[in-house]
Structure 1
Amino acid sequence: MDYLEFKITCLEEFREILIAELAEIGFDSFMETEEGLDAYAPQNEFDREAFNEIVEKYSLPAQISMHESIMPKVNWNEEWEKNYDPIAVEDLVFVRASFHEPVEGFKYEIVINPKMSFGTGHHATTFQMLKHQGEIDHQGKRVLDVGSGTGILAIMAHLLEAREVEAFDIDEWCVENGNENFDLNGLTTRMDIGTIREVNAQGIYDIILANINKNVLLDEMEIYASLMPSEGYLLLSGFYTEDIDDLMEVAQPLGLKLLKSNSKDNWAALILQKD
């Protein structure tokens, strides 16, 4: 499956806004650049009308200019090797690709070869989810990673000694890439494909990780709550700080209380616990 590639030049303060807007209409991979961002969408699922509406909305205030092209799947590894730098989440975890050298001084290391999948640790949402995971006891716990992308959060759960880790994503390419990353990090579990309703998650999960977007989180919140025990944890990200109230309006009647919230570049991350 080929991807449409959009090299977008825009004002820096609109970069994260455009990423959020484009993610809502099916774009599943982004790379921030000095000029703006590169955005990628599956060619056979591309919604041209919705895309044009977003461009028109932000064209003047964000000073948008762009170049569109088709990017075959086979080129993605090469592109990431050119542009992907390792990252550090404080002293908790060092995230690198297989072509980077290991670095000492971190509690954990994750090796991610991201290909076209979202979730490398560079984005503020993934960074904060990893940080919050480091604050939650995973040892001996059953963990569910919803919309797993590269599998980075599931891998972190494994490193934190979760007893069982399950993960899934709606994108076939993410599943393929996620399983490759699982192999690189010693996970024997396999990523499933589908939504939380389609994979039909069974049983109770002590920790649920969901780094998706506001609309999906609102739609699936009741399902998350139904799969959690009393005092179970729900870690959320993928939305702006101004969206927190909307999410908590749905979460609180389900017995989910807010323990902690963080923000980075106006992206929010929450730790919720079930009564």
Structure 2
Amino acid sequence: MSYTAVHIKCNKDLEETVSFLLQENGFDGTSYEQGNLIAYCNSGQFNELALSDILNQFGLKAEQISEEKDQNWNQVWEDNFKDADIGEHIHSRAPFHPAKEVKHDIIILPKMAFGTGHHETTQLSAISLEKLDCEGKTVLDMGCGSGLLAILASQKKASRVLAVDYDIHCVENTRENIQLNAAANVEILQADSIAHLNETFDVIVSNIVKNINLKLLPEFAQKLHPDGHLILCGFIDTDIDQLVLAAEAHNLILIEQNIANNWLQTQFKFK
């Protein structure tokens, strides 16, 4: 399999946001060093027009586009992986990083799955989830990526955690990370919908892109326990009015909002 490598000059403040958007639009992974972001995509799926649409939002352009020989891309990504402190009580790290004495020390095996704890949306979601009482509760992590949020819920003594993602790579990475963290009560499901599930959840957390969150909002409202909490992330701050209006259509009211680097995290409950 051949890969297309796109070289983009951008500062560190933009790197995580641009990486997130590229990976949500078909890129398999990125690496970053000294102001140069390299994004990797299966050559058969590379769409230069879609790439330009993303980069134009930030005044960026591709400095170089090249074909790369197949290699261990996870190793490339792992070489650039750093641990992350999330709020006051959560530490996300690879197996080769030392543990920290915090409430939640979470091991994430470096792969290309999103949700390692570095991006603002993962951090905002994790901090919001960490503040909730999950003991004895059922928790859904929709768009689980690496499984970090599902593992956090497990560590917070949830009775059952369901981690859902449509991407097989994310499902496999979540399974590995569940084992590394001995999170035995986390179940994994490969799916892009929860409409077929015959259960409700005390907590639903969904850290995925805006359009998918809005599409799934009716399902979240249907599967949320009457006294449950819905955490949504993946929006930007200017989306707040649209999101609140969409939630009100399902009798949900906004009870929390936080912003980091223009990324918006919200929490809703039923009226």
After TM superposition, the score normalised by the length of structure 2 is 0.89
- Kept in 2, the 8 Å contact 1:4–1:42? The answer is yes
- Kept in 2, the 8 Å contact 1:5–1:71? The answer is no
Residues of 2 paired with 1:142 and 1:251: CA distance?
21
Matched, 1:6 2:6: yes
Deviations 1:212-253 (A, max 9, x none): 010001111011000012221011111211111111111112
- Kept in 2, the 8 Å contact 1:4–1:71? The answer is no
Deviations 1:177-201 (A, max 9, x none): 1100010011233422120158x33
**Structure 2 vs 1, CA of residues 264 and 21 (structure 1 numbering), >3 Å: closer, same or farther?**
same
Residues of 2 paired with 1:73 and 1:249: CA distance?
46
- Which secondary structure state, in structure 1, belongs to the residue aligned with residue 91 of structure 2? strand
**Structure 2 vs 1, CA of residues 157 and 102 (structure 1 numbering), >3 Å: closer, same or farther?**
same
- Shifted more, 169-178 versus 44-53: the winner is 44-53
- Return the match for 2:123 from 106, 110, 127: 127
- Return the match for 1:195 from 171, 178, 192: 192
- Kept in 2, the 8 Å contact 1:7–1:67? The answer is yes
- Return the match for 2:255 from 242, 254, 259: 259
- Return the match for 1:97 from 94, 101, 125: 94
What does residue 159 of structure 1 align with? 155
1:6 to partner: Cα distance: 2.5
- Return the match for 1:62 from 54, 57, 60: 60
Matched, 1:174 2:183: no
Matched, 1:223 2:226: no
- Return the match for 1:234 from 210, 218, 230: 230
1:149 to partner: Cα distance: 0.4
What does residue 27 of structure 2 align with? 27
What does residue 39 of structure 2 align with? 39
Tell me the amino acid that sits aligned with residue 145 of structure 1: D
- Shifted more, 239-248 versus 27-36: the winner is 27-36
**Structure 2 vs 1, CA of residues 73 and 183 (structure 1 numbering), >3 Å: closer, same or farther?**
farther
- Which secondary structure state, in structure 1, belongs to the residue aligned with residue 8 of structure 2? strand
**Structure 2 vs 1, CA of residues 15 and 206 (structure 1 numbering), >3 Å: closer, same or farther?**
same
**Structure 2 vs 1, CA of residues 170 and 21 (structure 1 numbering), >3 Å: closer, same or farther?**
same
- Return the match for 1:184 from 180, 184, 188: 180
- Which secondary structure state, in structure 2, belongs to the residue aligned with residue 134 of structure 1? helix
- Kept in 2, the 8 Å contact 1:10–1:65? The answer is no
Residues of 2 paired with 1:15 and 1:81: CA distance?
16
Structure 1 moving runs of 4+ over 6 Å: none
1:94 to partner: Cα distance: 1.1
Residues of 2 paired with 1:2 and 1:193: CA distance?
26
- Return the match for 1:74 from 67, 72, 80: 72
1:62 to partner: Cα distance: 2.9
Tell me the amino acid that sits aligned with residue 81 of structure 1: E
Residues of 1 paired with 2:230 and 2:167: CA distance?
23
RMSD: 2.5
**Structure 2 vs 1, CA of residues 29 and 260 (structure 1 numbering), >3 Å: closer, same or farther?**
farther
Q: Which has the higher strand share?
A: 2
1:79 to partner: Cα distance: 2.2
Structure 2, unmatched stretches of 5+, are none
Residues of 2 paired with 1:36 and 1:245: CA distance?
35
Tell me the amino acid that sits aligned with residue 73 of structure 2: N
What does residue 81 of structure 2 align with? 84
**Structure 2 vs 1, CA of residues 221 and 186 (structure 1 numbering), >3 Å: closer, same or farther?**
same
- Identity score, percent: 32
